[in-house]
Amino acid sequence: MIESNLRKRVVRIRELLYSKYVVLEKENTEWLILNLLHELRIMTANQILLLINQEFPIGKSSIYRRLAALLKLEMIDFIQIKEEENQRYFYLTKKGHNSIGGIYSFPKVPEYNLKHHIEVTNYLIESMRLAKTKSTFLLAQSERRQMYEKKDMSKAKKGTLFHVSDYVLRFENQMAEVSNWHFEIELTLKSQNRYTKAIFPKYLRLLTQKRNAQLIYVTPSNIIYNSLDMFKEYFLLKKQDEELKSIDASAFDRLRIVSSKEFNGVLKKMLEENDFINER
């Protein structure tokens, strides 16, 4: 019955699933779950509950019934890890992926980088909850959507590495001008070379080209926080060098490094004080 009702009526879904057309009603929850798993790769039942409740009220027991039905139809599956035996991490099966016409690559190893995917989704849910209070909030772009946008019809050679943010919040004012807020959830410290020769230069150029853009690095680790702060300071000290003269001074102000404990408060303040999204 679920399969036959998957494509009943269509309306434009908000923000995260902006590229799909689907009924935003409780009766279509199964289809919504499949699309969320396609967009975010792997999720807990609670994350699914929180995201769907941003659109319409639904209880935990109702979500579990829908998940059970999708499991029975072999549209989804789950994994468990020894450290959290009571926690299930749900993902799309090939059958589920095909049933919604999945456009992203099918993950062959759904548990790959599990902790990072789950943490990113936690921050994304909270970011969307706060951003929804602003009329200029347009959409949230997942890592998978960004990668799809970069790779689709790309003439880059096979094996080319693409770097995208963990997620993006996009705002649009009445003049149809866009402001992208890029979020990076840093749970693992990368190499110094990667930060100083690739990641930070790339973002500083982006922030220079897009004067309304923001970059927020978030980490629960004091060591990673201090290291990221040190890399930012490194570029501040070098900004008079020939290769950095083109970097706009305001780019450094729009590159923020935030601890996990401060994230909620910092994002709230940014949303309240930013002239672009408040159209001041």
The residue range of the domain holding 101 is 3-111
Q: Tell me what the pLDDT averaged over the chain comes to.
A: 89
Q: Are residues 188 and 107 in the same domain?
A: no
Q: 173-200, pLDDT tens digit by residue?
A: 999 999 999 999 999 999 999 999 999 9
Residue 10 pLDDT class (50, 70, 90 cuts): very low
Q: Are residues 95 and 205 in the same domain?
A: no
Q: Are residues 208 and 266 in the same domain?
A: yes
Q: Are residues 170 and 233 in the same domain?
A: yes
pLDDT > 50? residue 7 = no
Give the domain CATH number at 77.
Answer: 1.10.10.10
Q: Are residues 83 and 219 in the same domain?
A: no
Distance CA 44, CA 260 (A): 20
Q: What is the DSSP string of 153-170?
A: T--PPTT------SEEEE
Q: Are residues 93 and 135 in the same domain?
A: no
Residue 5 pLDDT class (50, 70, 90 cuts): very low
Is 180 a domain residue? yes
Distance CA 183, CA 191 (A): 19
Q: 237 vs 144, which has greater pLDDT?
A: 144
Q: Are residues 124 and 261 in the same domain?
A: yes
Q: Which of 70, 93, 111 is the last residue of a domain?
A: 111
Is 17 a domain residue? yes
Q: Are residues 75 and 35 in the same domain?
A: yes
Q: 84-142, pLDDT tens digit by residue?
A: 888 999 999 999 999 999 999 999 888 899 999 999 999 999 999 999 999 999 999 99
Query: Phi and psi (nearest 5°) for 34?
Result: -60, -40
Is 258 a domain residue? yes
CA angle 150, 29, 268 (to 5 degrees): 60
pLDDT, position 3: 46
Q: Are residues 160 and 76 in the same domain?
A: no
Count how many domains the chain has: 2
User: To the nearest 10°, the Cα dihedral for 118, 57, 38, 107?
Assistant: 40
Q: 229 vs 157, which has greater pLDDT?
A: 229
Nearest to 228 by CA among 207, 253, 259: 259
Q: 243-258, pLDDT tens digit by residue?
A: 677 888 899 999 999 9
